[in-house]
């Protein structure tokens, strides 16, 4: 059974509905024991880094997530779930989980016609292959809504990018963790395909 992590960050029911659509049985839970016993974990979220980290530290979910990552359980981070899986976020100057070396940066836009948050559909460009991006092509569009973006330290952990004035990472991963800045659950059939492949993913990345 998959667990969708509940840490007061919103958007959980839409993720659960999308999982149901692709045949992935997933419960929503904030129970660290449920996360420890899950065979895969989805770490979604819409919200702020500071309040998210406060919530998962208070509940012990941060420890359970680190244990799941360390034991090789497949983990999918979505939006804020990707961001707080890096080491540090400029949002709230927050130390985060540290699955993936790097930081989360605030958009600094020069074009006054571009607004923050970045919201809407953007085409992505693949940087390297990953099992969850199988059948995804350069130019496929996904739905975004965010004011910060991930900046991994190691380019080898960046699997896709997109552009909002300048290029930024929109999919990153290391070992059994993979995260997207975009929302697969809100991205139509192409997004559901990622969740469907996550249903079968063993947490390994072919080299």
What is the full DSSP assignment across 67-112?
HHHHTT--EEEETHHHHTTSSEETGGGEE---SSSEEEEE-----T
Exactly one of 19, 91, 118, 185 is catalytic; name it.
185
State the pLDDT confidence band at 11, using cuts at 50, 70 and 90.
confident
Q: What is the mean pLDDT of residues 141-145?
A: 98
Q: What is the pLDDT of residue 186?
A: 97
**Rounded CA separation 201/130 (Å):** 10
Whether 98 and 57 have beta carbons less than 8 Å apart is answered as no
Is residue 7 predicted with pLDDT exceeding 80?
yes
**How many other β-carbons are positioned within 10 Å of the β-carbon of residue 172?**
30
**Is 134 annotated as catalytic?**
no
Q: 2-200 belongs to which CATH class?
A: alpha beta
Mean pLDDT, the chain, rounded, equals: 96
Exactly one of 33, 37, 79, 105 is catalytic; name it.
79
């Amino acid at each position: 059974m998959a667990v969708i992590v509940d840490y007061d960050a919103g958007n959980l029911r839409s993720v659960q509905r999308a999982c149901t659509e692709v045949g992935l049985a997933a419960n929503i839970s904030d129970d660290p024991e449920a996360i420890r016993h899950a065979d895969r974990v989805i770490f979604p979220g819409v919200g702020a880094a500071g309040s998210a980290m406060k919530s998962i530290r208070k509940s012990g979910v941060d420890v359970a997530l680190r244990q799941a990552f360390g034991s090789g359980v497949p983990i999918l981070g979505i939006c804020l779930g990707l961001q707080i899986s890096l080491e540090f976020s400029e949002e709230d100057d927050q130390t985060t989980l540290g699955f993936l070396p790097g930081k989360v940066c605030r958009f600094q836009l020069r074009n006054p016609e571009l607004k923050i948050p970045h919201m809407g559909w953007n085409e992505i460009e693949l940087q390297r292959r990953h099992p969850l991006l199988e059948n995804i092509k350069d130019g496929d569009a996904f739905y975004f809504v965010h004011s910060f973006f991930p900046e991994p330290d190691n380019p080898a952990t960046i699997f896709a990018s997109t552009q909002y004035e300048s290029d930024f990472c929109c999919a990153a991963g290391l070992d059994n963790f993979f995260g997207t800045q975009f929302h697969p659950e809100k991205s139509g059939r192409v997004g559901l395909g990622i969740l469907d492949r996550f249903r079968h993913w063993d947490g390994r990345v072919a080299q």
